[in-house]
């Protein structure tokens, strides 16, 4: 019964702000995406040596990201996701 109550409280806590928190997280993720791919779109990035190895991990979210950023097609010449 206690675990049922805990579950109910957790839902009551998170449901009203689920959207706002997810949107805030998406904004942070979008900024991170920009940092990782900044060299590729012409913005110098001193940490590119380190972010380079993150790129393969982020490719699967790349399409959604560039659509969200208002670019209909991939901004990278050598990577066409759509």
Nearer to another protein, 14 or 73 (CB): 14
Instruction: Tell which one of 12, 56, 57, 78 touches another protein (CB under 8 A).
Output: 12
DSSP string, 36-81: HHTGGGT---TTHHHHGGGHHHHHHHHHHHHHHTT-SS-S-TT---
Between helices 18-37 and 55-68, what is the axis angle to 10°? 120
Nearer to another protein, 25 or 73 (CB): 25
Instruction: Tell which one of 1, 15, 57, 82 touches another protein (CB under 8 A).
Output: 15
Which residues are near another protein by CB under 8 A?
A: 2, 5-6, 8-13, 15-24, 26
């Amino acid at each position: 019964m206690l675990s049922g109550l805990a579950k109910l409280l957790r839902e009551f806590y998170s449901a009203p702000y689920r959207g706002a928190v997810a949107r805030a997280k998406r904004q942070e993720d979008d900024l991170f995406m920009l940092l990782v791919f900044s060299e590729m779109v012409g913005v110098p990035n001193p940490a590119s040596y380190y972010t380079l190895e993150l790129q393969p991990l982020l490719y699967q979210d790349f399409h959604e990201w560039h659509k969200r950023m208002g670019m209909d097609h991939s901004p990278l010449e050598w990577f066409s996701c759509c």
